[in-house]
């Protein structure tokens, strides 16, 4: 049972949990073959579910929701009157890999694209406990659940399932997978692309100035302009209301 304090930000319930404690909880759940679900909301996540809430209160259905984006972290800090540090998905993935390298726990990563298969294989060739499975294109939630179920049956060892496919597909499927298998299921979006070097994190100065979003917008303007200008930017106003007027 999750006894970690939470702060409510509209559709989100952000857990006030340190990164090291979260990693330990995930590893312990895998070792004991217990289900555990984790998602990492950012401002786009918040804005999307605020505008068009998914069925079943998707965001609050996770055992742990942690602040990936700095606006979520700042809002949670202001509302809780405590410092809520970010737990960034692209940093969480390598920490989970390192933590479980010699633990006897397998990591099953679902994500990536066929065109990057060689790079993925090269990146993980020395990590015997990590399997990266590239799913078919244009997956539905139902097909993704079936796909992961098939992969899960191939191993009897404890496992951590990490889904790197983006919101909301990974979250909707992740909750269903956790019900079927006694494994932690962690939703980490584009973290696999950052880990293998397909995408680059913003330079240090952009991160220091909280301008990672600007770096990503400059890097992928055609793909991201709608996300940042039409979803994320208006969400700042809504998030501010959830902090001070909710």
The answer to whether 89 and 39 have CB atoms below 8 angstroms apart is no
DSSP designation for 185: E
- The DSSP code sequence of 4-71 is S-EEEETTEEEE---HHHHHHHHHHHHHTT--EEEE---HHHHHHHHHSPPTT-GGGGSSEE---SHH
Which residues, in sequence order, are bridge partners of residue 38? 64, 186
Question: What is the rounded distance in angstroms from the CA atom of residue 227 to the CA atom of residue 48?
Answer: 9
Domains of the chain (ranges plus CATH)?
Answer: 6-200 (3.40.50)
Q: What is the pLDDT of residue 22?
A: 96
Triad 191, 197, 144: Cα angle to 5°? 40
Question: What is the rounded distance in angstroms from the CA atom of residue 42 to the CA atom of residue 12?
Answer: 10
- Among 80, 61, 82, which Cα is nearest to 12's? 61
pLDDT in tens, 205-246: 888 777 787 777 788 878 777 777 767 777 888 999 999 886
pLDDT in tens, 198-215: 888 878 888 877 778 777
Question: What is the rounded distance in angstroms from the CA atom of residue 38 to the CA atom of residue 177?
Answer: 12
| Contacts of the segment 118-127: beta carbons below 8 A, 24+ positions apart | 119/196, 119/197, 119/198, 120/192, 120/196, 123/195, 123/196, 123/197, 127/97, 127/101
Scan for tokens 């559709």, then name that residue.
Answer: 11
User: Residue 74 burial by CB count (10 A; 0-12/13-18/19+): exposed, middle or buried?
Assistant: middle
**pLDDT by position in tens, the chain (length 246):** 567 899 999 889 999 999 999 999 999 999 998 999 999 998 888 888 887 766 556 778 899 999 998 999 999 999 999 999 999 999 999 999 999 988 889 999 999 989 999 999 999 999 989 989 898 887 888 888 888 877 766 665 668 999 999 888 899 889 988 888 888 999 999 999 999 988 888 788 888 777 787 777 788 878 777 777 767 777 888 999 999 886
Q: What is the pLDDT of residue 234?
A: 79
């Amino acid at each position: 049972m999750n006894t970690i304090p939470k702060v409510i930000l509209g559709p989100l319930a952000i857990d006030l949990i340190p990164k090291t404690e979260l990693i330990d909880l995930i590893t312990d759940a895998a070792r004991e073959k217990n289900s555990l679900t984790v998602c990492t909301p950012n401002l786009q996540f918040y804005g999307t579910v605020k505008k068009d809430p998914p069925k079943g209160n998707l965001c609050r259905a996770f055992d742990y929701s942690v602040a990936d984006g700095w606006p979520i972290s700042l809002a949670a800090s202001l509302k809780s009157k405590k410092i809520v540090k970010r737990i960034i998905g692209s940093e969480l993935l390598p920490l989970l890999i390192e933590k479980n390298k010699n633990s006897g726990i397998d990591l099953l990563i679902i994500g990536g694209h066929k065109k990057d298969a060689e790079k993925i294989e090269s990146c993980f060739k020395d990590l015997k406990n990590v399997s990266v499975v590239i799913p078919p294109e244009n997956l539905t939630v139902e097909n993704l659940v079936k796909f992961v179920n098939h992969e899960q049956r191939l191993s009897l060892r404890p496992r951590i399932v990490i889904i790197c496919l983006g919101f909301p597909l990974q979250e909707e499927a992740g909750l269903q997978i956790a019900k079927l298998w006694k494994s932690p299921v962690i939703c980490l979006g584009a973290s696999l692309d950052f880990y293998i070097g397909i995408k680059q994190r913003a330079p240090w100065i952009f991160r220091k100035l909280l301008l990672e979003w600007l770096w990503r917008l400059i890097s992928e303007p055609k793909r991201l302009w709608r996300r940042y200008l039409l979803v994320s930017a208006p969400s700042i106003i809504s998030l501010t209301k959830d902090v001070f007027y909710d």
